[in-house]
Every structure is written in C-alpha cells, then in structure tokens.
Amino acid sequence: VSDWCFRNTAPDTELTEHSSDTENDEDWRTPFNVNSFSCSICKKIYTKNSELVVHMRMHTGDKPYSCSVCKKTFCRNSTLRSHMRIHTGEKPFSCSVCDKTFNQRSNLNVHMRIHTGEKPFSCSVCNKTFSHLTTLETHLRTHTNKPYSCLVCKKTFYYYSKLEAHMRIHTGEKPFSCSICKKTFNRKSYLKVHMIMHTGDKTFSCSVCKKTFNQKMCLKEHLRVHSGEKPFSCSICKKAFSHSSSLRYHKRAHEKEKPYICSVCKTGFTSSSNLKVHMRRHTGEKCEDIHTPKLVTKWLKHNKVNVLERPSQSPDLSPFENVWADLKRRV
C-alpha cells in the first residue's frame, strides 16, 4: 500500500493503521497527490505548501505586507510590489502598437482590446458584447430598474454615485477645484478636461481640416462634422444627433425635465446656459454686456445667418463688432 507513500511512520506494527487511515484522507487519495496540499476550508489543492499558506490568508484575512507610503496592506508580496508602482510612477509594461505604458500587465492586456477589437464580455439579455467587464456591468443596469431617485426632479439613476453627481445641479455644489486658476466644477471629469487647457497639450489632429484637440474623444466627435454621422437617436421622435449631450438636452423637452432651478423665482430650465440668461433679469445685466463673440457665433449658426462683408462696415471695428452692429441695425 505504501509503495508510493513517503510519510514517516513508526515500525511495521503501525504501518497497517497508517495505510488504513490514508484511504479516507482526501489529501492522499491517489499516488499523484503525494506532493499536494489541500485547503481545509474550501478543499482547493496546491502543489506547494507556500501556495497554500498564501491562499489561507483569503480565509483568515491576514495581510502581512504593508505599503511604506500609504500603509495599505496586502496578503501577497507580489501584490505589494505592483501597488508600489502607483507611488513610484514606474510603468514597465508597454503597448507594442501605440507605446502607451502601464504599471500592471493586466491593465496592458485590457488596453490591447482597443487595438484587437476583442469584446469577450457578452450581455445575456441582448447579446451585446463589451471589451471591459465593468462596461458590461454598467450596461446590465439598462435592463433593470433604476433604484436611485432624485428628491427634487424625480429623475432616476442606476448608480448612487450618478445620483450624487446629479444632485450638485440642484445644490450648486462644485467640490472639484483647479489648482492653477481656482475655477470649480461639479464633476471630476470636467476638471480633468479643464486642466488640459492649462497644459496646452493638443496631440490629436483631424486628418481633414488639421484642427487639433487635447482629447481623443473630442477629435472623434469633431470628425462627425465632416462625416455627417449622427449616432445618437431619440427613442421618442427618432431625431438624430451627433453628440450625446445634444440628445440629453433634447430628451428633456419630451420629459419636461428642468433640473436647473432659479434661486430667486424657482423657475426651471433644461440647460444651465438658459438659466444664466434668465438670471440677468434679476441682476439687471444689460444684453449688450453679455453678447460675446462666442455667443454671437453660436446664435448665427443656430439661425443660419450668413453675414457677408458690406461697404457700410467700418474698417475701425473688429469683424465681431461689425457683425454685432449690423445685427442691432436689423432690429
């Protein structure tokens, strides 16, 4: 019986008892388990005792490895080493396609799906596929109820974090501040976009008109100007839009949602820009003071006004001032 068993036993008198015991011992079921180690809790088997010791920390909660910088603890030394790269800034894993670097191999593997187009995560309801598990988890919420509701406008959300961010529209809270110009924002993502304005980094260039952008997403949205693509469609009236934000504003007309509330008269508006214009009624700010070149250009595009150069235009005025003077003459 013990031709394959190398356990140390007493002399022959105890060998029979040992052989009988091992028949019911799950750690020693077969000759091939001679060097295996089994977890007494979940029965998972390891080939090395050191691996079993590390595994047991999952059950005991023991985390003997501590970060010297932030004091976060880990159950594996290898996990601590990976964590330390956050503090050192080391990124040893490089993408062979775009040379982007990462501090963990797993992050590189996820990034590579951008280049390969791999989408290994599939929705069990509509069979839509995703490249990230977190994206799938977010998508699955669209098939379920929205459990978090705004007490002010009754809008519902899939996540509590989204509700928290939404509530700042009503409260006016802007907890994210620019360290350079002190401008504040109600979303961290808005602050990140704003910070690029200070760095001046515009690495993404349009192949058609050569206009440059500081974000890849901005370039992607800009290209729709040339292609005419409008991928965002209203589920109610089927009107299509080139930007998701435009669709969001449009849907408020159907839903009669007005999340931007005047603090003086409590009138509601669908956008913050409309609220700002309304507030001038209370502050007494003159219209002439607020028609900036950007606003006039936006108005001209919206109303499809084509202002050509006229002999009556003054050479002493800027193009914007001439346009604004011409508009006032029309009125």
How far apart are the C-alpha atoms of 139 and 132, rounded to whole Å?
Answer: 11
How far apart are the C-alpha atoms of 18 and 58, rounded to whole Å?
Answer: 32
**Residue closest to 190 by CA, chosen among 245, 262, 128:** 245
How far apart are the C-alpha atoms of 276 and 297, rounded to whole Å?
Answer: 18
Which of the two residues, 200 and 219, has the higher pLDDT score? 219
Structural domains in the chain, sorted by start: 12-60 (no CATH), 65-143 (3.30.160.60), 292-331 (no CATH)
Structure confidence by residue, pLDDT tens digits, 34-65: 568 889 888 889 888 888 888 888 888 888 88
- Residue 301 pLDDT greater than 60, yes or no: no
- Asked whether 64 and 56 are in contact (CB, 8 A), the reply is no
Residue 44's alpha-carbon distances to 35, 41, 57, 59, 224, in angstroms, are 14, 8, 13, 12, 54
* DSSP label of 158: S
Provide the residue type at 219 as one letter: L
Tokens of 227: 């292609």
- Residue 298 pLDDT greater than 70, yes or no: no
DSSP string, 250-296: HHHHHHT---EE-TTT--EESSHHHHHHHHHHHHT--HHHH--HHHH
Check residue 237 and give left, alpha or beta (phi > 0: left; psi -120 to 50: alpha). Answer: alpha
The maximal CA–CA distance of the chain, rounded, in angstroms, is: 120
Question: What pLDDT, on the 0 to 100 scale, is given for residue 11?
Answer: 40
How far apart are the C-alpha atoms of 84 and 191, rounded to whole Å?
Answer: 26
Assessment of whether the complete model's pTM goes beyond 0.85: no
Structure confidence by residue, pLDDT tens digits, 166-198: 888 888 888 899 988 989 998 888 888 788 778
The per-residue pLDDT of the chain, averaged, comes to: 76
- Residue 119 pLDDT greater than 50, yes or no: yes
Backbone angles phi and psi of 202, in degrees to 5: -130, 90
Enclosing H/E stretch for 133: helix 133-140
Mean pLDDT of 98-115: 87
The β-bridge partners of 233 are 240
- Asked whether 103 and 90 are in contact (CB, 8 A), the reply is yes
